[in-house]
Amino acid sequence: MRVLVTGGSGYIGSHAVRDLAAAGHEVVILDNLSTGNPALAKGFRLVQGDIADRELLKSLLADVDAVMHFAASAYVGESVSNPRKYFHNNVESALLLMDSVLESSVRQFVFSSTCATYGIPDKLPITETSHQKPINPYGVTKLFFEDVLSAYSVAHGLRYVALRYFNAAGAHPNGEIGEIHHPETHLIPLTLKAALGTAPPLTVFGKDLDTPDGTCIRDFIHVSDLATAHTAAVAYLENGGASTAINLGTGKGTSIAELLAIVEEVSGKPVPHVYAAPRAGDPPALYSDPSKAKEVLGWKSKYDIRDIIETAYQWELKLPSFLAQ
C-alpha cells in the first residue's frame, strides 16, 4: 500500500513509518515540523506542509491508498492553558484534512486517538466500551474527531481504525530514533534527564491521589509496539475490515513512584524530585484492557516497562549527538 503519514516526522509517527516500510509499504510523510524533527524522517520522503493545505493534499492524496493521521497538538497540560490551539489544529485543520480525503478516492484511514478520550474511567482496566467523557480540551478534540470519522464512515464509505494509545514511551531498540518533544513535558524523558542531571529535579504532580501509593498511574506502551499495531491496522483495512476503535496498551499500570525506582535501577543514579499539586486535566489512573487489539488486529505488546526505560535511557544518552548531527 501507499500510505500518507501526517505527523510522520514526530515521535510516534517516525517509528510507525519505519515499521510500515519494513512491511513493504510505500510511505510519504506530510509534516509541518511544528513539533517534529526532520532528522526523525531521515530516509523517507518528507513533504513539509500543513494538513489544512487543500491544494497540497489534493496532489498528495492522488497517489496514495490510505492515510495515517498522527499530526496534532498533543500536550494535555497545554490544552488546558491554550485550548484554542487544540481546537484549531486538532479539529479545524483536521476537518480540512478530511474534506481533502473525502474529495479524493482514499477511503482507508488510521487515526491517533488516545486514552485521554475516556476522562476519569468508570472502571479499570479501560475497555473500548468504557464511557468517553474527556476532562481536558485535548481529549475533547480527539473524541470529537472520532465522532467525525464515525459519521463519515456511515455517510461516505470511509473505513477507519481509531487507535486509542495509552502513554507512548521508549525508543527504537536499534538506537536510531527515539522521543524528542519541544518542549519536553513527558514524564519518562524528564525523569531520565533529572537522573542524568541534564534537567532540573523532576516535579511529580500529585502525591496524595486516590491510588495505592498516592502517585499517578499510567499504562506505558513501547513506541515500537505502537508502530507494529499501526501496520496491523493497515493490513486490517486492506483486508476489508470494518471501522472500529481499539485500545493500545499493555494492560498494566505503573505508578510514578514505581517508575522512579525502575529509572534508578536502570541508570544506577538517584532521581532528584519534588512534589507539587496534581496537574489540571490529569486523571489519577489510566490503564487498558488490550484484549480487543488481540482479537481484531492479532496484536499484543511485546515490551514491558523495564524494556521501555532501558531503550529510553540509551536514547537519552545518545540524544545530544543526534541533535548535533
Ligand X SMILES: O=c1ccn([C@@H]2O[C@H](COP(=O)(O)OP(=O)(O)O[C@H]3O[C@H](CO)[C@@H](O)[C@H](O)[C@H]3O)[C@@H](O)[C@H]2O)c(=O)[nH]1
What are the residue numbers of the active site?
138
218 forms part of the interface with ligand X (CB under 6 A) = yes
- Told to check if 76 binds ligand X by CB under 6 A, we report yes
- How many C-alpha atoms does 86 have within 13 Å on its Cβ side? 20
Q: Which member of 79, 93, 108, 130 binds ligand NAD (CB under 6 A)?
A: 93
Nearest approach in angstroms of CB 162 to ligand NAD is: 11
Interface segment toward ligand X; rule CB under 6 A; list 73-81, 85-93, 103-111, 298-306: 73-81
Positions 99 through 158 that interact with ligand X (CB under 6 A)? 114-116
| Torsion sign over Cα 48, 54, 55, 60 | positive
Cell numbers standing for residue 172: 527504537
The H-or-E segment that residue 204 falls in is strand 202-205
User: How many CB atoms are closer than 10 A to CB 257?
Assistant: 17
Q: Least separation, in Å, of the C-beta of 194 and ligand X?
A: 9
6 to 25, contacts with ligand NAD by CB under 6 A? 6-7, 9-13
- Taking the C-alpha atoms of residue 35 and residue 182, their distance in angstroms, rounded to an integer, is 6
Segments in 167-304 forming alpha helices (H): 187-196, 223-238, 256-267, 291-297
CA-wise closest residue to 32 among 46, 17, 14, 45: 46
**Nearest by Cα to 163 from 95, 69, 88:** 69
Q: Please tell me whether residue 69 binds ligand X under the rule CB under 6 A.
A: no
Which listed range, 65-73, 123-131, 170-178, 315-323, lies at the site for ligand NAD (CB under 6 A)? 65-73
Q: Which does 152 bind (CB under 5 to 8 A by kind): ligand X, ligand NAD, none?
A: none
Q: How near is the Cβ of 285 to ligand X at its closest, in Å?
A: 9
Side chain identity at residue 1, one-letter code: M
Indicate whether 81 belongs to the interface with ligand X (CB under 6 A).
Answer: no
The residues, any chain, with a CB within 8 Å of residue 151's CB and separated by 6 or more, are none
Nearer to ligand X, 33 or 199 (CB): 199
Stretch that binds ligand NAD, among 123-131, 149-157, 162-170, 266-274 (CB under 6 A): 162-170
Of 109, 118, 166, 315, which lies in the binding site for ligand X, with binding defined by CB under 6 A?
166
Minimum distance between the CB of residue 241 and ligand X, rounded to whole angstroms?
Answer: 24
* Cα–Cα distance for residue pair 2/110, rounded to 1 Å: 13
* The residue to which cell 491496522 is assigned: 233
Contact between 11 and ligand X by CB under 6 A: the answer reads: no
Q: Does 50 bind ligand NAD (CB under 6 A)?
A: yes
Write b or e for each residue in 82-112: b if 16 or more Cβ atoms lie within 10 A of its Cβ, otherwise e. eeebbbebbbebbebbbebbbebebbbbbbb
Q: Measured from the CB atom, is 44 or 205 closer to ligand X?
A: 205
Total binding residues for ligand X by CB under 6 A?
22
Smallest gap, in angstroms, from Cβ of residue 268 to ligand NAD? 26
Residue 261 CA: distances (Å) to CA of 24, 116, 203, 250: 40, 26, 15, 19
Residue 209 has what DSSP assignment?
A: S
The stretch near ligand X (CB under 6 A) out of 16-24, 61-69, 181-189, 222-230 is: 181-189
Using CB under 6 A, list all residues that contact ligand NAD: 6-7, 9-13, 30-36, 50-51, 70-72, 74, 89, 93, 112, 114, 165, 167-168, 181
Using CB under 6 A, list all residues that contact ligand X: 74-76, 114-116, 166-167, 185-187, 190, 202-205, 216, 218, 256, 279, 282, 286
